[in-house]
Amino acid sequence: MNAAPMTPGRYAERCPDRPAIVMGESGETVTYAQLEQRSRAGAQALRRRGLAVGGHLAILAENTRSFLEIAWAAQRCGLYYTAINRHLRASEVQYILDDCGATALVTTAAQAEVVAGLDLRRIAVKICAAGDLDGFERYADLLAAESGARLPDECEGREMLYSGGTTGRPKGVRKPLPATPLGDPQAPPVQIARGLLTAGAREDAVYLSPAPLYHAAPLVFAMSWQRLGATVVVMERFDPRRCLELIERHRVTHTQMVPTMFVRMLRLPEAERRRYDVSSLVDVVHSAAPCPVPVKRQMIDWLGPIVNEYYSGTEDIGNTYIGARDWLTHPGSVGRPAQLSYRRPGRATGGGG
């Protein structure tokens, strides 16, 4: 299984009607067959508009159904794609557009006020994914004009995401393009999905994505779960009650949260929290910020020893991980040193601390 190409297209063939995306509030659903068709058509449209392998597309949007479709279109035609925080001011968005060198912008009518303040003379391709904007092509029209055939030069693209800018301007993290066919098991973007498999993920999983997709982990993990055939439930915005409703309704098995979401859920009356059936959960991962010990302990008391923690970085320079049971033994810890094995071509396997 691991040697086969890891793409949503595998599941478009095997189980075309399986939901790939479910929007939490609207209930709008995209099947794997639809995700494959739309992302192929989107890739065709981008290529036809001059975006070659290594080109750059920016996405400025709220959590919508089309967000992941567009990300997959960019992924499968070998582009860099930059998701931009939709809460930034126009001047801040402009800086990122200029810095990353994007020549294509996908946005929505909801971002009209910010878009009106942008200098888009260098943006050759402008697409409105939801609603209408003057000077922007409608996403639906763009898809309708394409056949949805696979590109002959289809290959893995890569996200180029930005830091939060807490110490100055946001900094872009540009990693080398994989230069591999789409879904190649050795491609770095595929390695994350392979890591989920190693950790016990299954294709019948249901992954709840409660955070903005413009953040690194929500975007990367949502797409990684779709490489495995999971259903990804996307919340338009986080609400603690809605979160619990969605877990119960869709029998969510996995999710990734931040500590503030834990705090908001714990503020609900305990009797109300207990009304929701969350027994389907097998892994609740948190990251991004330190979680207060009392908060995490309450979450484990409520959900059981499935609240696991990791820290990482967009730069891919390492990570930490600690499971709930180890954490209960050492509250506040983020993990322990582990032995690292590595292999170089033509050399024996070595180890490092």
Q: Output the pLDDT for position 3.
A: 58
pLDDT score of 188 = 86
Residue 49 has pLDDT above 50, yes or no: yes
Q: Whats the size of the chain, residue-wise? A: 353
Whole-number pLDDT of residue 169:
87
- Residues 6 or more apart in contact with residue 109 via CB below 8 angstroms: 128, 130, 131, 132, 133
Q: Mean per-residue pLDDT for 201-205?
A: 87
pLDDT, tens digit, 9 for 90 and up, residues 253-289 = 999 999 999 999 999 999 999 999 999 999 999 988 8
Q: What is the pLDDT of residues 67-125, one digit of tens each?
A: 999 999 999 999 999 999 999 999 999 999 999 999 999 999 999 999 999 999 999 99
pLDDT of residue 277: 98
- 105 against 187, higher pLDDT: 105
Mean pLDDT value across residues 50-68:
98
Lowest mean pLDDT of 89-93, 199-203, 226-230, 312-316, name the range. 312-316
25 pLDDT band, cuts 50/70/90, is very high
The model's pTM: 0.91
Give the residue, 48 or 343, on which the prediction is more confident: 48
Instruction: Tell me what pLDDT residue 59 has.
Output: 99
pLDDT of residue 258: 95
Predicted confidence (pLDDT) at residue 132 exceeds the cutoff of 50: yes
CATH code assigned to 31-162: 3.40.50.980
Confidence at 186, pLDDT banded by 50, 70, 90: confident
Percentage of the chain modeled with pLDDT above 90: 75
Quick: pLDDT tens for 152-175. Answer: 999 999 999 998 777 788 889 999
Residue ranges covered by each domain of the chain: 31-162, 188-331
- Predicted confidence at residue 315, as pLDDT, reads 67
Query: Is residue 350 scored above 60 in pLDDT?
Result: no
Give the CATH superfamily of 188-331.
Answer: ANL, N-terminal domain (3.40.50.12780)
Q: Which of the two residues, 197 and 190, has the higher pLDDT score? A: 190
pLDDT, mean over the chain: 91
Q: 203: pLDDT confidence band, cut at 50, 70 and 90?
A: confident
What local confidence, expressed as pLDDT, does residue 71 receive?
98
